[in-house]
Structure 1
Amino acid sequence: MQIQSGFLVFLVFYTLITLVLLHAVYRTSQLIVDEEFHLRQGEHFCRGRFHVWDPKITTFPGLYLISASLLGPFKACSVYALRLTSAIASIVNAYFIFIIRRTVVGKQEDARVLLESISLAILPPLYFFSHLYYTDVLSVTMVLMMIYFSLKEKHNYGALLAFFAIMMRQTNIVWVGYILGWRALDLAMKLCLPNENHQYRLRDLLTTVQTLLGSRFMFVRVIKLIFSSYYGYILNILAFMAFLYWNGSIVVGDKSAHVAAIHLPQIFYFTLFFATFSGSELLTLLPRVLRLVRNRWYITAFGMALFAWIVQQNTIVHPYLLADNRHYTFYVWNRFFGRWWFARYLPVPIYYGIVVSLAFLLFAQHNGRPPLIVSSLVWIVATVASVALQQLIEVRYFILPFLVLRLVQPNVRPSRKLVAFEVAFNLTVNVVTFYIFFTKEFYWSDYREPQRLIW
């Protein structure tokens, strides 16, 4: 009860600070980068002009429909009101982050859950966009709610939220697939291994596959149960596949700048993102990682050589990355990765170390808790699908893979001091990024308003 009160206190402070920052951001600038398209479209829908559509917009109209539903009846269609929808969604996100983590870990870990929830709620890239009118924050809201209802075995609600998640961003289809894949495989294993204690290992998954391939009766039984239990997720996926066939692309509107391509180094960039904002877990795993890297030096050498080859063969530099100096990634690339030919290879040992850490996190037993083998495998597939098919390096693409992993996987139980350090680090990064946003400005020739730095 005490920890619940602690979370409510945090939520009150979080709400107040978010609203204060929302006002400060509005006073500083009323148009940030691609908000130009979102704000204009949001106003059209808010005022009932549903026939108007900007061809530059590449996502489904979920964000604008929400704005129309919430703001339209009150004729509150200003920039401030539209941005307020993101701020409110971020408060909802903070709540669902807490209750999802509490559902996964249990009430006995409430003190650590509270600290983790604070850390994830103030995740700097997500928190920054909570004060702008982009699709990302509401997209996270819908995915978090879908995950929560799935964990609670309320799959009809989960499927409804899956539809809303897809309407926010098409790429959320991979997280609908994640939920369906996790639940379907878990159901299959429980049916094929009825005498097990549900603490599965990888060999149990292989045994399940062999059983299904070897028994037509069991295969049909499992398929029927999957359809009857999770038909809502399946219908969402089938409808999305029909859309892909009809549209010819996952993108609506302007397809030219968002052509899918295999871009494996994006996985490495995601590992850097994960390491930056998951210090508590990586520092806890560091001794085990260092022992493995040292004792299996030949595997380490091969792995780093493979990573370097992937960097050499598959690095894609999107024109937007080189042209738009309003994002931090522009400066990281132009002042480091793109400045010297060898610079992009320097982080390879770091990539490898973080990948090993993720392998421990996903597949090793922690504090007597078995790994969620099925969830881990499906998370890898979903993450690769959502990240490695994007040409443009954009930190916002990493938010959902990061949150899903941190929320759903068993906890490595870092010390409270380490989690508190992670909270302090995220808070510091937020302070610095908002300070830069408020104080540094520059001008583009085709914009009257000053431009500012964002994630």
Structure 2
Amino acid sequence: MPKEGDISSEKFHQELEQDIKRNVEFGFLFNLLSWPAVAIITSIVFYRFNKNVVPFAFIDEVFHLGQTVQYINGNWKSWDPKITTPPGLYVLGWIQYKLLHGFVAWSPLTALRLLNLFGGLIVWPWVVLRPLFLFSAVKFWPINLMCFPLLFTFYFLYYTDVWSTIFIVESLTLAITLPFGERKSIWASALCGLVSCLFRQTNIVWNLFVMIIVIERRALIQRDFNNVHFNNYLKLIIHSLENFHQLVLPYALNFMLFLAFLAYNRSITLGDKSNHTAGIHLVQFFYCIAFIAIFSAPIWISRRFVRGYLRYTLDHPLGLVFQWLGMVILIRYFTRAHPFLLADNRHYTFYLFKKIITRNKFFKYLVMPASYHFSIYSYMSVMHSNIIHFHPILPIEIKSPVDLPVQLTHISWTALLVCTFITVVPSPLFEPRYYILPYIFWRIFVSGSPESYLADRIVELTGVHRLSREFLWFALINVFTLTVFAFKPIVWQTESFPQRIIW
């Protein structure tokens, strides 16, 4: 005769299965129906922007457009010394222009901007995100990440961010889903990682992250990871050495090519080295985590979560004091105000920095450390609740990497933190575009909380109700930023056209 506990457990698992099935079906339907609407609206806005709002090259587009036109004209040896990134975008723009030339009567700028619109509305959600979504349908929705505000803005402009993101995240997608079989998929993943570096050099750091994912998803099965973390690190290293040619070599070639580039160029920056010298901008990490916490708020925030944070601070008063003092010291000695930040009011960071972050000493040394502390707690708590935990003795039952859940272990979680730190801290600029990949790689591996926003109860076991709020949150931010961009022009005496505010 079954015990009461067994019945309760069986009922719970039945409810969980039904909840997952219902929410997966809803997620597929929502993405299928909402994508055409978002794509049509975005395309209309794109048309209006190109016709009436910004029919001219805007900020960095001046350099990107000029270099691509040089390639279109056959001047492949020409290079603008003001450009700091590799020529991946310009080669892709050359291909795009050659394909469309003669078929549409658009200006070169509009034709080149269409490259990012196509990438953002077609390639990004359907080619890159959809396979991951099929593997983990209750973690994220492709439509949401398609509408991620820091990336969405650049669907309308000719910048490097869209395709840089597409190629490096596709490297992760191939590494997890293995669509071409294990060996070919890993080499394809490494190739996409290499191509991504032709759009942004710092993507070499994310090549390392993807490589660790590849090794880890095999080592944890074949080496039987357990709850002894140091032991798992040793197993990962041993597994990578014993399987070097299959797992490490494809990415190691990328690292070797990157080192050759550094030796040749003598810097990670291609041009304009005087204004883009690497440094130690530690507060940039606080900015990045704060942005991630704000954008991800719909998936984690609740009354219970806030109460948990308050309990944590009250239970560790001495630790809180030392953490606060540490942040104050870092803010005092490692805040960098780049001349571009202070002089260019066409970016939201100009207003954030002057009006909030450094408004006065009260904001700088009390309000901002408190917000950073809460943001870090949010980031770490959400990630910690989503990592794979291992049994101290029993091996994992899954026998194939492709059958593993889209989750991180304590090793890849640490790697994500380290890669985020390495990516953002050396940059002297307070630049939200640098937070796109730290957010995307974090968001793919975490799930929405099942808790109610205001009540202390579980609403849905899979937390899919939060994904719809996330979509609305991103839509609201995008509507706001696009409205400001379109209807709040700025007059610069040195520019012939009205200027606009972007991220």
Query: What TM-score does the superposition give when structure 2 sets the normalisation length?
Result: 0.81
What secondary structure is seen at the aligned counterpart in 1 of 2:276? coil
Corresponding letter in the other structure for 1:11: W
Post-superposition shift, 1:210?
Answer: 5.0
Q: How does 1:38-57 map to 2 (within 5 A)?
A: 38-57=64-83
The residue that corresponds to 1:168 in the other structure is 199
Q: 260, 268, 277: which is aligned to 1:259?
A: 277
The residue that corresponds to 1:216 in the other structure is none
Q: 339, 360, 368: which is aligned to 1:347?
A: 368
CA 1:371–1:173 in 2, change beyond 3 Å: closer, same or farther? closer
Corresponding letter in the other structure for 1:79: L
Separation (CA, whole Å) in 1 of partners of 2:233 and 2:202 = 28
Separation (CA, whole Å) in 1 of partners of 2:128 and 2:246 = 29
The residue that corresponds to 1:180 in the other structure is 211
Separation (CA, whole Å) in 2 of partners of 1:343 and 1:425 = 26
Corresponding letter in the other structure for 2:276: H
Comparing 42-51 with 438-447, which one deviates more in the overlay?
42-51
The residue that corresponds to 2:114 in the other structure is 84
Corresponding letter in the other structure for 1:401: P
The residue that corresponds to 2:15 in the other structure is none
The residue that corresponds to 1:22 in the other structure is 46
The residue that corresponds to 2:57 in the other structure is 31
The residue that corresponds to 1:63 in the other structure is 89
Q: After superposition, what is the alpha-carbon deviation per residue over 1:294-322, rounded to whole angstroms, capped at 9, x for unaligned?
A: 22222222212211111112111101000
Post-superposition shift, 1:447?
Answer: 1.3
Contact 2:346–2:502 (8 Å) recurs in 1:
yes
Separation (CA, whole Å) in 2 of partners of 1:442 and 1:410 = 40
Q: After superposition, what is the alpha-carbon deviation per residue over 1:327-374, rounded to whole angstroms, capped at 9, x for unaligned?
A: 111111122333323422221112111212222222235799985212
CA 1:211–1:161 in 2, change beyond 3 Å: closer, same or farther? closer
Q: After superposition, what is the alpha-carbon deviation per residue over 1:141-177, rounded to whole angstroms, capped at 9, x for unaligned?
A: 1112111101123111101111110001101111101
Separation (CA, whole Å) in 2 of partners of 1:267 and 1:124 = 19
Q: Aligned residues, how many? A: 436
CA 1:38–1:413 in 2, change beyond 3 Å: closer, same or farther? farther
CA 1:183–1:367 in 2, change beyond 3 Å: closer, same or farther? closer
Q: 327, 330, 341: which is aligned to 2:347?
A: 327
Structure 1: which 5+ runs fail to align?
214-218
The residue that corresponds to 2:5 in the other structure is none
Separation (CA, whole Å) in 1 of partners of 2:27 and 2:298 = 20
What secondary structure is seen at the aligned counterpart in 2 of 1:359? helix
The residue that corresponds to 2:431 in the other structure is 394
Contact 2:408–2:445 (8 Å) recurs in 1:
no
Which one has a larger percent helix, Structure 1 or Structure 2?
Answer: 1
Post-superposition shift, 1:9?
Answer: 2.4
The residue that corresponds to 1:156 in the other structure is 187
Corresponding letter in the other structure for 1:289: Y
The residue that corresponds to 1:440 in the other structure is 488
Separation (CA, whole Å) in 1 of partners of 2:47 and 2:215 = 45
Contact 1:227–1:234 (8 Å) recurs in 2:
no
Q: Please tell me whether residue 383 in structure 1 is matched to residue 420 in structure 2.
A: yes
Separation (CA, whole Å) in 2 of partners of 1:281 and 1:366 = 16
Separation (CA, whole Å) in 2 of partners of 1:54 and 1:275 = 37
Post-superposition shift, 1:446?
Answer: 2.1
Separation (CA, whole Å) in 1 of partners of 2:116 and 2:69 = 15
Q: After superposition, what is the alpha-carbon deviation per residue over 1:171-200, rounded to whole angstroms, capped at 9, x for unaligned?
A: 111110111123234544545x33x5xxx5
Contact 2:448–2:466 (8 Å) recurs in 1:
no
The residue that corresponds to 2:255 in the other structure is 237
Separation (CA, whole Å) in 2 of partners of 1:314 and 1:374 = 28
What secondary structure is seen at the aligned counterpart in 1 of 2:497? coil
Q: After superposition, what is the alpha-carbon deviation per residue over 1:421-444, rounded to whole angstroms, capped at 9, x for unaligned?
A: 322222111111111111111222
Separation (CA, whole Å) in 2 of partners of 1:372 and 1:127 = 30
Corresponding letter in the other structure for 1:444: W
Q: After superposition, what is the alpha-carbon deviation per residue over 1:393-448, rounded to whole angstroms, capped at 9, x for unaligned?
A: 01100011001100134554563443323222221111111111111112222211
Separation (CA, whole Å) in 2 of partners of 1:358 and 1:255 = 33
CA 1:14–1:2 in 2, change beyond 3 Å: closer, same or farther? same
Comparing 65-74 with 358-367, which one deviates more in the overlay?
358-367
What secondary structure is seen at the aligned counterpart in 2 of 1:385? helix
Corresponding letter in the other structure for 1:321: L
Contact 1:279–1:418 (8 Å) recurs in 2:
no
Percent identity between the two aligned chains: 28
Separation (CA, whole Å) in 2 of partners of 1:298 and 1:224 = 46
Q: 1, 12, 27: which is aligned to 2:36?
A: 12
Separation (CA, whole Å) in 1 of partners of 2:135 and 2:236 = 29
Separation (CA, whole Å) in 2 of partners of 1:244 and 1:255 = 13
Corresponding letter in the other structure for 1:392: L
